[in-house]
Chains A and B, each alone.
Chain A
Amino acid sequence: MNRLTFLFAVACSTSLALANDAGEFSNDQIAFFESKIRPLLVEHCYECHAAGSKILQGGLRVDHRAGLLKGGDSGAAVVPKQAAKGLLIKALRHEDVKMPPKGKLPDSVIKDFETWIAMGAPDPRAADDRPVRTIDLEEGRKHWAFQPVTDPKPPAVGDAKWPLVPLDRFVLARLDAKGLKPVADADRFTWLRRVSLDLTGLPPTPAEITAFVSDQSPQAFETVVDRLLNSRAYGERWARHWLDLTGYADMMGTSNNVFAEHSWRYRDYLIATYQKDKPFDRFVREQIAGDLMPAETTEERAENIVGTGFLMVGDVEIVEPDKAKLEADHIDTQVIKIGTSFLGMTLGCVRCHDHKFDPITIPEYYGIAGMLRSSPSTHKIPFGVWSILNSTELPETPEQLVTRQKLEADHAAKLTGMKTEREKLEGEKNAVAKELAQLEQATTSATSGNSNEATKDVAADQARKDSLKKRRDELTGQIQRLGPLIQHAEFFQSKVPKAFAMRDGDHPADMPIYIRGNPYAPAAVVPRGTIQVASWDKFPAIPAGQSGRLQLADWIADKRNPLTPRVAVNRVWQKLFGEGIVRSVDYFGTRGELPSHPELLDHLATRFVQVGWSQKKLIRELVLSRTYRLSSANDVDAVQVDPDNRLLWRTNRQRLEAEAIRDSLLAVSGELIGSDGGPGLVLEERENCGDLVQQGVNPPNYNHRKPRPQQEFQRSIYLPVMRTNTINLDRIRNQFDFVNPAQIAGQRSQTVVPTQALFVMNNDLFRKRAKALADRLLKETPQADARLERLWLQALNRPVSDEERVIAKSVLADLDAAISEPNAEVKEALKWHELCHSLLASNEFIFRI
């Protein structure tokens, strides 16, 4: 029997049993119901709580007795003979829920209801358990996204010479059908800038530009793409795309800046994953169940564990004092994340009710939730109300162990040094105090005598006392300053590598449905499993003692899963083409958008699986297509037919993301420095750490007061992500549509608001980079004409036009007149500073066309 049917059968049988006693009431009792109760139910309640209701509210039906006993989402409406227990009387009394909503019924009527319930709620109305809305799986499966992925043949096209790769034929065929023609190709400068920014988030250098435009070989484009895909910068950019789907931050939750000191390992794991092109199916498995996967090497084992950080790094309210609620809420964010990121499904709604639009039921939600509940991811710390994320010690290779032990030894030596220093200071302070006390004593006895000798001594003693007091205060200060440093060093003594990671709990088990998501209202226990509408087979049995995450991971990463490969290729497509083939990149359900090119989507999904789920191969194919080469210029005719460019007759222009703007600025100014990753939070600086008392009311916390000097010049992905937005380095992310680290969003919005213009005009980030660029140009290119040439190539990645050259010169002349600065060299630098800022603030710099 199908599991859904089975569940309904259980529900039905229970209600039938309850309904059977309807006949046991006396005629008087039934008459009471008919005269006093039924008319009121009909008049005040049926509109929202009966079979014919337009929208059944709260899952409650009052048009039959079983419906009242069973109640709605919040629990039983009537408990026979116990008026105080059911929700009906409470609602009528307007205690919690207020019913009817239009106004409280007279007290006499409420009294009637109480009397009626006291009788045992006599009610002759026929048992009617037809669920108001049933999920019809077979019907549900007809939705395109739940259908198996197909392998359509690339269609015939009018102009056989236009396509470069098969995907182009899918695009051109649709344009042909509408009588549209693609616009011309972009020039080489534009294409190179586009592909460089899309693949690495950095603009091409003048040398790269020269090399490409002069490379007349047929492989010129491939050469560029391979170079970009093989760079670390590629990993850095695409890892950040994935982070948008995780709610990543370097803080646990949002309250009190509690630092998440191991989060960065997941970020570095992503960079490595993209850089080495780990097959996507493997990538999926590691993120859900890496800890349960076999590993051949220590590094692989560590990587598998870190991968599960996916389920750990989001926003979690760790200060929630109600731990049952905390657990249910955190599981909810994990279920939502799995649903959105991998499956393009909105599972969050199903915590409380069957999905309103998609064929997904409450038991299915709790089927997945049960796996996560079997793998607890937070624990309460033994003091205060706080919980923190679970972490796992990572296995180390012998070399790593040696390095770590060296680090710890150095750290211990430093700590011992400080402690010895403190002891020494304290020793001296004691000595000083002792001498001081003796002198005080002596002075007291001396003043009792009255010789000249004594007076002289008193003066000398006073000088000595003053000097001792001064020394004592100095020592006190030094000791006080050492205290927090020692506390800090002690706190960070262990250098054992750890990661926030999932692991199976001690008692993996199925979990009950929580009525309306409330952990204090458990209902039937449901088997762990997944959503059936996207399943091709029965969910495999979960071995005893396991959470089931591994089985879930395998199910998601299975090539037969209709959602996973489609959702994944659509995400990659959106990053390169601006809009997804399915524009609602995070939602493939029935209320989402339909694919603009369904066959193309399936073609790509099939190819993706065929090439071993290689994201690099997929990206390579997309950016080497003719479609990707198109100019982004408008076309008068096409815009009439397809104003949103859904058919891709041109390239979509894109505003750069906050990170790409900042990183490009650093690249162009020549200040960008590489990084191998590592902690984003500067915990090694004492002033960045708040209270480090292990047994305090609040857990240790973080304040970004002092960045590492190099952080100003590293790529944005390495900056700490604070949910409270307190970092100065973070300002650009704040202004340019960074995904809020509590949000799971596959596509960023591209807003245009005036505060962005202010940022571009006046913020230090632009101002300082412009200065560095100007200084660099002045130094490297002494000749002014050549310098203009170089500036345009460096900043806008194309040659300066004759017209622009004239304009630039006249602006330099105007600036010369406006700037009052006697020193010619300084003046020249100021002029170029303004000129450089002008270019960096232009749309050509902050957009990719």
Chain B
Amino acid sequence: MFHPLNCSRRGMLQSVACGFGGLALADIVHAATSPHTAHFMPKAKRVIFLFMAGGPSQHDLFDPKEFIRQKHGQHIDSPLRKEVTQVGTEKFLALAEAAPVKPRGESGMLISDLMPHLCSVVDDICLLRGVSTDNPQHASAVNQFHTGVFTEVRPSMGAWISYGLGTENQNLPSFVSIHAPGVRTYGSGFLPAAHQGTPLTVPMDNKTLPIENLRNVSSSDVIQRQRLDLTKRLNQRLIDNLQGDAQMEGMIQNMELAFRMQTTTPQLVDLSKETQSTLDLYGIGGGKESDRHGRACLLARRLSESGVRFVQVTMDGWDHHGDIRGNLPRLCRQTDQPVAGLLKDLKARGMLDDTLVLWSGEFGRTPWSQDLSGTAPINTHGREHQPESFCAWMAGGGVKGGFTWGETDHMGYNVINGKVHIHDLHATMLHLLGIDHTRLTFNQVGRDFRLTDVHGSVVKEILA
């Protein structure tokens, strides 16, 4: 427990332990519990965010256009404002989808042949075809997707949700980011540090550590323990002399927790005890292209099941400026089975009803082609970034299954119906978790800040 004389309020808030501990840590993780309670009945208790870093092409996967198909390889009119510069798109050639996109499931939702596994679960997903964001660059768009803004440093959505709902399991962090794309995507900004995401790597070999510095550097556990015991005694002596200090107390507790994490974390990420059928479901197995993401998705399910509020899995490589016909199928092979496997597994375990799954990139790609060489044949072209409109999908957690929302214009550039801005996506996500996005605030330098800043409205049409 904290020393009776520990006195800084701020120290209390920030002195927080969250991690993969083996013991009940209720006494030290209390600060990770939230000052809030849900504003209304939640549909979802937790979120799994599958982040497709780089910007998957919606034209090839979900929203192809007859107009573009007809004009394949021919010049089309540019809808871009004249101040906007793009490179390799000067010819403005229409680029038809890379593979057939056909109606699937009972709902007849349009999905590409490139994602056969996703096709088998379409009636559980809600496809958003009018998602829109403000920035055509990776760094800015990634920041906006994760924090709502692109210039300032603000808390990430996982941190906001942890702050809003607290933790479901006091032995685990409330927010874990697997293969996180940069510190700002899991940072807690001005929120207490307890809400920051814990970055995790799925080890593919014995050398990789799931968390940095997890390997004992002394020659044996006994020796390390002797070393830590001395540190502990020195720390205790200092605290006694000072008659208490919340931060130092936190550091002592964390040292013990960290010591245990050295054994508990590898156990947590160890998938060797999973059944073969589970591994097969996720496409896990040596040599399979889907192995790495399969492991990440299975781990996400395990973390969710154990009560982690917000789990993010990042799958990168979608930035196809060139040869989209060669690159996109490969990315689909890497991700399709893991993603669909996760949905099936959640459903089989009865978890899909109260787990919201979100699949999205930071933006989409243009219907016209890009060719940086200027001389390559059309069938080896790629696509440029497109923030104006793109596709994402949600599943479970209170959204309509087998439902398509949103429509883009004849070329797939502007949203003409059912626009869902990133702020709306955030507002909707919070709504499903029982949080009014206008009321989840944190006061900083005199102002109440929100994930949705001064924007956002809940997309009621997609609620189940």
- Nearest chain B residue, comparing its CB with the CB of A98: B457
- Whether B258 and A639, one on each chain, are in contact in the complex, defined by CB atoms closer than 8 angstroms, is no
Give the residue of A633, A757, A819 whose beta carbon is less than 8 angstroms from that of B258: A757
- Whether B83 and A322, one on each chain, are in contact in the complex, defined by CB atoms closer than 8 angstroms, is yes
Interface residues of A in 733-785 (CB under 8 A from B): 734, 740, 742-743, 749-764, 767
- Whether B7 and A321, one on each chain, are in contact in the complex, defined by CB atoms closer than 8 angstroms, is no
Name 8 A/B residue pairs within 8 A (Cβ), A-sorted. Answer: A320-B136, A653-B248, A751-B196, A754-B254, A755-B258, A807-B230, A814-B226, A844-B238
Whether, in the assembled complex, B155 has its beta carbon less than 8 Å from a beta carbon of chain A, the answer is no
- Assembly CA distance A476 to B5 (angstroms): 74
Interface residues of A in 709-753 (CB under 8 A from B): 724-725, 731, 734, 740, 742-743, 749-753
Chain A interface: which of B12-20, B156-164, B305-313, B336-344? B12-20
- Whether A645 and B7, one on each chain, are in contact in the complex, defined by CB atoms closer than 8 angstroms, is yes
Closest Cβ of chain B to A557, distance in Å, is: 24
- Assembly CA distance A324 to B81 (angstroms): 11
Whether, in the assembled complex, A438 has its beta carbon less than 8 Å from a beta carbon of chain B, the answer is no
- Whether A589 and B140, one on each chain, are in contact in the complex, defined by CB atoms closer than 8 angstroms, is no
- Nearest chain A residue, comparing its CB with the CB of B233: A807
Interface residues of A in 65-109 (CB under 8 A from B): 96, 98, 101
- Whether B151 and A763, one on each chain, are in contact in the complex, defined by CB atoms closer than 8 angstroms, is no
Whether, in the assembled complex, B37 has its beta carbon less than 8 Å from a beta carbon of chain A, the answer is no
- Whether B14 and A752, one on each chain, are in contact in the complex, defined by CB atoms closer than 8 angstroms, is yes
- Whether A752 and B139, one on each chain, are in contact in the complex, defined by CB atoms closer than 8 angstroms, is no
Q: A643-B8, A752-B14, A752-B251 are in contact. List 20 more A-B contacts (CB 8 A).
A: A255-B137, A320-B137, A321-B85, A324-B83, A384-B85, A632-B242, A633-B242, A750-B11, A750-B14, A751-B14, A751-B196, A757-B254, A758-B213, A758-B261, A761-B259, A762-B213, A808-B230, A835-B227, A838-B227, A843-B252
Q: Mark B254-287, 1 if CB is under 8 A from A, else 0.
A: 1101110110000000000000000000000000
Closest Cβ of chain A to B195, distance in Å, is: 11
Closest 4 CB pairs of A and B: A591-B446, A751-B193, A757-B258, A752-B250
Whether, in the assembled complex, B464 has its beta carbon less than 8 Å from a beta carbon of chain A, the answer is no
Give the residue of A317, A323, A753 whose beta carbon is less than 8 angstroms from that of B150: A317
- Whether B214 and A749, one on each chain, are in contact in the complex, defined by CB atoms closer than 8 angstroms, is no
Whether, in the assembled complex, B247 has its beta carbon less than 8 Å from a beta carbon of chain A, the answer is yes
- Assembly CA distance A767 to B224 (angstroms): 12
Whether, in the assembled complex, B406 has its beta carbon less than 8 Å from a beta carbon of chain A, the answer is no
- Whether A636 and B217, one on each chain, are in contact in the complex, defined by CB atoms closer than 8 angstroms, is no
Closest Cβ of chain B to A188, distance in Å, is: 16
- Assembly CA distance A742 to B149 (angstroms): 12
- Nearest chain B residue, comparing its CB with the CB of A358: B446
Whether, in the assembled complex, B211 has its beta carbon less than 8 Å from a beta carbon of chain A, the answer is yes
Interface size grouping (class) on chain B: 35 or more
- On chain A, the number of residues with a Cβ less than 8 Å from chain B's Cβ atoms is 89
Give the residue of A101, A323, A761, A808 whose beta carbon is less than 8 angstroms from that of B228: A761
- Whether B230 and A253, one on each chain, are in contact in the complex, defined by CB atoms closer than 8 angstroms, is no
Q: A254-B139, A633-B243 are in contact. Are A321 and B152 (CB under 8 A)?
A: no
Contacts of A317 in B (CB 8 A): 135, 137, 139-140, 150-151
- Whether A756 and B447, one on each chain, are in contact in the complex, defined by CB atoms closer than 8 angstroms, is no
Closest Cβ of chain A to B82, distance in Å, is: 10
Q: Mark B1-27, 1 if CB is under 8 A from A, else 0.
A: 000010111110011111101000000
Whether, in the assembled complex, A584 has its beta carbon less than 8 Å from a beta carbon of chain B, the answer is yes
- Assembly CA distance A361 to B231 (angstroms): 55
Closest Cβ of chain B to A805, distance in Å, is: 13
Q: A329-B151, A592-B446, A761-B258 are in contact. Are A752 and B7 (CB under 8 A)?
A: no
Give the residue of A329, A346, A383 whose beta carbon is less than 8 angstroms from that of B447: A346
Closest Cβ of chain B to A743, distance in Å, is: 4
- Assembly CA distance A743 to B137 (angstroms): 19
- Assembly CA distance A847 to B238 (angstroms): 11
- Whether A639 and B5, one on each chain, are in contact in the complex, defined by CB atoms closer than 8 angstroms, is yes
- Assembly CA distance A343 to B140 (angstroms): 28
Whether, in the assembled complex, B204 has its beta carbon less than 8 Å from a beta carbon of chain A, the answer is no
Whether, in the assembled complex, B333 has its beta carbon less than 8 Å from a beta carbon of chain A, the answer is no
Whether, in the assembled complex, A31 has its beta carbon less than 8 Å from a beta carbon of chain B, the answer is no
Q: A322-B83, A333-B151, A633-B241 are in contact. Are A643 and B140 (CB under 8 A)?
A: no
Q: A591-B447, A807-B233 are in contact. Are A752 and B16 (CB under 8 A)?
A: yes
- Whether A734 and B183, one on each chain, are in contact in the complex, defined by CB atoms closer than 8 angstroms, is yes
- Nearest chain B residue, comparing its CB with the CB of A836: B227
Q: Mark A310-352, 1 if CB is under 8 A from B, else 0.
A: 0000010101111110000100110000000000001011000
Contacts of B120 in A (CB 8 A): none
Whether, in the assembled complex, A818 has its beta carbon less than 8 Å from a beta carbon of chain B, the answer is yes
Q: A749-B193, A750-B247, A756-B251 are in contact. Are A834 and B218 (CB under 8 A)?
A: yes
- Nearest chain A residue, comparing its CB with the CB of B190: A749
- Whether A356 and B447, one on each chain, are in contact in the complex, defined by CB atoms closer than 8 angstroms, is yes
Contacts of B250 in A (CB 8 A): 752
Whether, in the assembled complex, B215 has its beta carbon less than 8 Å from a beta carbon of chain A, the answer is yes
Closest Cβ of chain A to B47, distance in Å, is: 22
Q: Mark B436-458, 1 if CB is under 8 A from A, else 0.
A: 00000000011100000000010
Q: A758-B214, A761-B213 are in contact. Are A740 and B187 (CB under 8 A)?
A: yes
- Whether A101 and B261, one on each chain, are in contact in the complex, defined by CB atoms closer than 8 angstroms, is no
Give the residue of B86, B88, B223, B239 whose beta carbon is less than 8 angstroms from that of A321: B86
- Nearest chain B residue, comparing its CB with the CB of A849: B242
- Nearest chain B residue, comparing its CB with the CB of A323: B83
- Whether A586 and B83, one on each chain, are in contact in the complex, defined by CB atoms closer than 8 angstroms, is no
- Whether B217 and A767, one on each chain, are in contact in the complex, defined by CB atoms closer than 8 angstroms, is yes
- Nearest chain B residue, comparing its CB with the CB of A316: B151
Contacts of A804 in B (CB 8 A): 234, 237
Q: A357-B446, A751-B14 are in contact. Are A322 and B226 (CB under 8 A)?
A: no
